């Protein structure tokens, strides 16, 4: 089985998918953080393509950076300035070829993530 990475972002404050949220993918090797890709979520809160497709998959440590502050500003979820949550980094390891799914449940004042399926 080949490995790949997907994500899904839900806005728990508004009760809907987080459309238009910018996500960056980084590969972490030693002390080096390398930018691989920037994506934006669609109307379902997912990306139109796999975050890391099978043909680019490699085991190792990665980081997804969710730009929550910009998303909330566009959604006008909170008038607070500066916003409590701005950038949400999620660092994780993919030690073997498999489907990795890293969802984010997001509100203006908190978030949760887990390894999904």
Q: Could you report the per-residue pLDDT of 15-70, keeping only the tens digit for each?
A: 999 999 999 999 999 989 999 999 999 999 999 999 999 999 999 999 999 999 99
Phi-psi sector, 76: left (phi>0), alpha (psi -120 to 50), beta: left
> pTM for the complete prediction?
0.93
| pLDDT above 90 as % of the chain | 84
Beta bridge pairs of residue 11: 16, 106
For the chain, what are the domain ranges? Answer: 4-111
Q: Show the CA angle centred on residue 75, arms to residues 4 and 62, nearest 5°.
A: 25
Does pLDDT of 90 surpass 70? yes
Question: Where residue 73 falls among pLDDT bands split at 50, 70, 90?
Answer: confident
Cα dist from 92 to 57, 59, 67, whole Å: 14, 11, 17
Q: Which of 1-5, 10-14, 63-67 has the lowest mean pLDDT?
A: 1-5
- Residue 78 is predicted with a pLDDT of 56
- The whole-number pLDDT of residue 82 equals 73
Assign 1 a pLDDT band (cuts: 50, 70, 90). low
At the topology level, CATH places domain 4-111 in Immunoglobulin-like (2.60.40)
């Amino acid at each position: 089985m080949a490995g790949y990475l997907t994500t899904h972002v839900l806005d728990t404050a508004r009760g809907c998918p987080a459309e238009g949220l910018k996500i960056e993918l980084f590969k972490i090797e030693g002390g080096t953080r390398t930018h691989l890709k920037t994506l934006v979520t669609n109307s379902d809160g997912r990306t139109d393509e796999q975050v890391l497709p099978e043909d680019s998959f490699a085991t190792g440590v990665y980081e997804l950076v969710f730009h929550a502050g910009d998303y909330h500003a566009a959604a006008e979820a909170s008038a607070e300035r500066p916003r409590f949550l701005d950038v949400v980094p999620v660092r994780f390891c993919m030690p073997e070829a498999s489907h990795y799914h890293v969802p984010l449940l997001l509100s203006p004042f908190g978030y949760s993530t887990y390894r999904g399926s």
